[in-house]
Amino acid sequence: MNDDVPGRYDGRPFLKIVDSYIMWIIGALDADAEGVLERLAPKLGSVYGTDGSWQEIVATQLELPENFSEVVRSRWKLDRLTNPDPVSWSHQVADKLIS
């Protein structure tokens, strides 16, 4: 799940999930990582006091608008022309959400 930047997730475990969420939205999250997150959903729900898929839990915690996925996909289509790496692009988006 996007472990390519040393120290990125130190003390910030939710950021790792947000990175994965952005990757999932743009279709770049690998199946193994998605499977791990699906199995993690009940624990996430317990931690955050809510039910739902891991994606729903992330969206709820970040208070994202309903059209967030559409906006991100549209932005990715434009931005990938200048920043074609989905991991670094996802990190940039996640950083803006978490900051």
pLDDT digits (tens, 9 = 90+) for 35-93: 999 999 999 999 999 999 999 999 999 999 999 999 999 999 999 999 899 999 999 99
- Residue 44 to residue 51: CA distance in whole angstroms: 8
What pTM, to 2 d.p., does this model score? Answer: 0.91
Residues 6+ apart with CB under 8 A from 12: 98
Q: DSSP letter for 8, please.
A: T
Q: Please tell me the distance from the alpha carbon of residue 19 to that of residue 62, in angstroms, as a whole number.
A: 13
Spans of all domains in the chain: 13-98
* 3: pLDDT strictly greater than 80: no
SS (H, E, C) 45-81: HHHHCCCCCHHHHHHHHCCCCCCHHHHHHHHHHHHCC
